[in-house]
Structure formats: structure tokens, C-alpha cells
């Protein structure tokens, strides 16, 4: 059986009190409780404080370009559909730079888990507004307040009929770990948007701010009722629902729709250079 120590990587360089610490601990705990060994897992990221997560884990890792965690994660999953693939991103990295990839990953439904460290600010680049920063918020680069409307990523994901849409808060690590396990176990694309306070650059959305508002959905909540899920995802203000907000178990994963991937993973299939050369030559005619 795997142990938390098996996933121990480099020492994190985040600010003391940063919500990223709780996400890192919860992720390791979720993987262990699911019985996954480090060699069975790939963690991919883009750029940002969230993007450092693969540095702090011992498993297969890849740290790529800003906003590009989902294309890399999708390609890796298609190449080896036996690998558990987890994409890490921040709200700016995923919903800003990577917004187009976010939309099309939900359309394609690859079997990957997307964990978004949503602190509603750009932390690595010192505090400018991200897509999830509330309209009117004063930041270092928006001294007169953010002029754009706040993005609601979970409502967008329900509207896109994503495979699984969940939300959690790093101040409740038991809940966060359970949401991670549900997202990883889901067959298809799973989004987990995680409220993660930035103690340095966001003085509005603090731990106390979230603790007064987040409320888990009840046991009688039906995540497969899409209309109700959309209405629930729109609730924001003095109460913010968290939990598995939506689930569509009926959609086939992207890799299931490619006959060449139905049996042996691509990385284990024989490579015939001559066949590839003939295919290229036929295109040139």
C-alpha cells in the first residue's frame, strides 16, 4: 500500500498560510486512500503558484507553459490511458490564459482530473485581477476596481455538460480530500474548483470570508439533475454551495472513442517506422 511519504517531493516555497499547502496535503492523502502508487500517477501544471505543485510531489510530473496544462494532460492520457492524469492550474492560468483549452477539454471529455487553485487573484505575478476576481475589487493594477464581471467556472462547466463538476474549500480538508477522490475516480473529465485564500495579495476572500459562506450540499442533493445543478452553481453571496454539484456518468471518455486505443495503450503498441513513412508519402502525392 502507498504511504504519504512516498509522494514527498521538494520543500514548498509558498507563503506561510497559503492555501496551496492544504491542496498539496489533500492531494497526497486522496491518492494514498485510493491505493494509487506514485508510478501510476502523472501530475501536470502550467505557470503560477499552483503550477509549482508537481515540484513538491514525487511521482510522474510535467511543468509546462502558462495556461497549457490541459493540452498536455489530454495528450498524456491519450498516449497512456492506464495512467491517472491530474492537471493542476490556478484561476488565472486555467480560466484566463487557458480558457479556450478549458472549454474544449469539457467538450472532448478526456479521463483527466482538473484541480483549480482558485484564490481569485494572480499570486505569482503580484496581485492583479484574475477572471474569478469579483467586479469592483480594488487590486494593485485595478486601483479603480475591476471593471469586468466575475467568471463563474462551475456554472460554465454545468452549461458545457462536463462529466463531473465539484467545488470545495481548503479550510475543510476532509471535504476537499473526499472531493478529490470523487473527481479522480470519475470516468471522464472532472473539474474541482478549490477556494484557496491568497494570504498575501487577496485581503477580501480570506479563510474567515469563506468559512462564513461555504455550505456543503445536502445528502438529498441529486447531482444528476442538470437544471437544479445549474441553479445551484449560480448561488453566490452570503451562501456558496460546495460539493459534487453536477455529474453526467453517461458520457463516454474521449479515449474510448478511438478504436486504436481500445486495447493496448499507445505507449505499449509496436512502432512501425515504415508504415508511418508510407502514410506520409501518400499525403505528398
pLDDT tens column, 39-48: 999 999 999 9
List all residues 6 or more positions away from 17 whose beta carbon is below 8 Å from its beta carbon. 199
**Cell reading at 270:** 509496436
Q: 166: exposed, middle or buried (C-beta count within 10 Å: 0-12, 13-18, 19+)? A: buried
Helix axes 173-185, 20-33, angle to 10 degrees: 50
- Cell 510530473 sits at which residue? 61
Do 48 and 94 form a contact (C-beta atoms < 8 A)?
no
Do 196 and 20 form a contact (C-beta atoms < 8 A)?
yes
Q: What is the pLDDT of residue 29?
A: 98
**Cell reading at 117:** 487553485
b/e per residue 218-231 (b: at least 16 CB within 10 A): eeeeebeeeeebbe
* Distance between CA atoms of residues 137 and 277, nearest Å: 57
- Cell 509496436 sits at which residue? 270
Do 75 and 85 form a contact (C-beta atoms < 8 A)?
no
Q: What is the pLDDT of residue 69?
A: 97
Q: Which DSSP string corresponds to 39-62?
A: GGEEEEE-SSSGGGGGGGB-SEEE
Do 18 and 199 form a contact (C-beta atoms < 8 A)?
yes
Below-70 pLDDT ranges, the chain: 285
Do 101 and 114 form a contact (C-beta atoms < 8 A)?
no
Q: What is the pLDDT of residue 276?
A: 82
Q: What is the pLDDT of residue 272?
A: 82
Do 192 and 220 form a contact (C-beta atoms < 8 A)?
no
In DSSP terms, which residues pair with 169 in a beta bridge? Answer: 195
Q: Tell me the CA distances in angstroms from 144 to 121, 140, 204, 205, one per residue in order.
A: 16, 10, 16, 18
Q: What is the pLDDT of residue 285?
A: 64
Q: What is the pLDDT of residue 215?
A: 97
Q: What is the pLDDT of residue 280?
A: 87
**Cell reading at 229:** 445543478
Nearest to 245 by CA among 217, 210, 220: 217
For 87, phi then psi, to 5°, come to -100, 125
Cα end-to-end span (Å), the chain: 55
Q: What is the pLDDT of residue 140?
A: 84
Amino acid at each position: 500500500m502507498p504511504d504519504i511519504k512516498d509522494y514527498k517531493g521538494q520543500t514548498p516555497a509558498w507563503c506561510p498560510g497559503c492555501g496551496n499547502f492544504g491542496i498539496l496535503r489533500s492531494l497526497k492523502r486522496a491518492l494514498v486512500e485510493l491505493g494509487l502508487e506514485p508510478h501510476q500517477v502523472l501530475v501536470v501544471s502550467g505557470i503560477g503558484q499552483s503550477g509549482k505543485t508537481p515540484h513538491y510531489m514525487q511521482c510522474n510530473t510535467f511543468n509546462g507553459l502558462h495556461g497549457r496544462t490541459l493540452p498536455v494532460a489530454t495528450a498524456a492520457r491519450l498516449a497512456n490511458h492506464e495512467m491517472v492524469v491530474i492537471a493542476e492550474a490556478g484561476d488565472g492560468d486555467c480560466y484566463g490564459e487557458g480558457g479556450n483549452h478549458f472549454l474544449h477539454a469539457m467538450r472532448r471529455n478526456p479521463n483527466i482530473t482538473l484541480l483549480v487553485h482558485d484564490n481569485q487573484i494572480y499570486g505569482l505575478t503580484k496581485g492583479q485581477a484574475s477572471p474569478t476576481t469579483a467586479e469592483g475589487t480594488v487590486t494593485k493594477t485595478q486601483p479603480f476596481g475591476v471593471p469586468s464581471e466575475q467568471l463563474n467556472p462551475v456554472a460554465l462547466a454545468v452549461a458545457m455538460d462536463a462529466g463531473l463538476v465539484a467545488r470545495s474549500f481548503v479550510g475543510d480538508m476532509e471535504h476537499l480530500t473526499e472531493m478529490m477522490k470523487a473527481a479522480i475516480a470519475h470516468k471522464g473529465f472532472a473539474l474541482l474548483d478549490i477556494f484557496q485564500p491568497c494570504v498575501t495579495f487577496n485581503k477580501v476572500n480570506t479563510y474567515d470570508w469563506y468559512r462564513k459562506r461555504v455550505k456543503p450540499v445536502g445528502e438529498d442533493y441529486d447531482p444528476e439533475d442538470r437544471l437544479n445543478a445549474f441553479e445551484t452553481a449560480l448561488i453566490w453571496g452570503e451562501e456558496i454551495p460546495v460539493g459534487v454539484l453536477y455529474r453526467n456518468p453517461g458520457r463516454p471518455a474521449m479515449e474510448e472513442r478511438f478504436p486504436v486505443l481500445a486495447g493496448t495503450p499507445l505507449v505499449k503498441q509496436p512502432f512501425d517506422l515504415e508504415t508511418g513513412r508510407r502514410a506520409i508519402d501518400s499525403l505528398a502525392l
